[in-house]
């Protein structure tokens, strides 16, 4: 974990994650059917479900629209799934409004240029260790793990442990 030492994780009430490069390692297997299959890390899945059970809100905002991704997220009890999103800031605003949250209440993890707008608004701007350089520049929490390899778990665990809810 390489977050800024003065970073306060105690205000976080909700998590938002990008999919490709955050919940996955960014690899896609393109099948003859046209489906593009991704690999998810089981420990990330456990942490997402655990956070939801502890009362945290978890949302997913992704530019890509893939039914397999939606099914995986639903299996983790994630209710707020924004797929095929062209404007991530708009989905971010909808999520905040739905739950009466402030931008500072949110920990957002992204890995590339489309994530920057939301990362510049939220309380904890997180990224995996292999995020794009522009994203790492904006992040105030850089995971010690790459996308799809436990970066999500690390962030959730750090927040919940700091808040005594892990």
Quick check: is 2 in a domain? no
20 is in an annotated binding site: yes
- In this structure, the strands spanning 29-30 and 36-37 are antiparallel
What pTM does this model have? 0.94
CA distances from 140 to 42, 79, 105, 128, 155 (A): 25, 27, 14, 11, 12
pLDDT at 8: 87
Cα–Cα distance for residue pair 120/50, rounded to 1 Å: 27
Quick check: is 34 in a domain? yes
64 is in an annotated binding site: yes
Mean pLDDT of 20-43: 89
The DSSP secondary structure of 10-26, one letter per residue, reads TT--EEEE-STTTTB-S
134 is in an annotated binding site: no
pLDDT at 106: 98
Quick check: is 9 in a domain? no
pLDDT tens across 100-112, in order? Answer: 999 999 999 999 9
Instruction: Using the predicted structure, report yes or no on whether residue 4 has a pLDDT greater than 70.
Output: no
Count of structural domains, the chain? 1
pLDDT at 34: 84
pLDDT tens across 118-143, in order? Answer: 999 999 999 999 999 999 999 999 99
88 is in an annotated binding site: yes
How many Å is the maximal CA-CA distance in the chain?
Answer: 49
Q: In which domain, by residue range, is 18 found?
A: 14-163
145 is in an annotated binding site: no
Quick check: is 33 in a domain? yes
């Amino acid at each position: 974990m390489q977050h800024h030492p003065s970073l306060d994780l105690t205000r976080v009430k909700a998590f938002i994650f990008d999919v490709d490069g955050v919940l996955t390692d960014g690899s896609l297997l393109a099948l003859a059917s046209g489906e593009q299959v991704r690999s998810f890390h089981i420990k990330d899945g456990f942490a997402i479900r655990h956070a939801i059970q502890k009362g945290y809100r978890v949302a997913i905002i992704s530019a890509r629209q893939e039914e397999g991704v939606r099914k995986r997220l639903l299996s983790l009890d994630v209710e707020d799934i924004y797929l095929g999103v062209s404007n991530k800031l708009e989905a971010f605003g909808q999520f905040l409004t739905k739950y009466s949250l402030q931008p500072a209440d949110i920990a957002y993890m992204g890995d590339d240029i489309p994530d920057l707008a939301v990362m510049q608004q939220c309380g904890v701007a997180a990224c995996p260790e292999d995020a794009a350089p522009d994203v790492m520049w904006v992040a105030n929490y850089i995971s010690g793990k790459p996308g799809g390899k436990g970066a999500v778990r690390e962030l959730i665990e750090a927040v919940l442990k700091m808040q005594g809810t892990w």
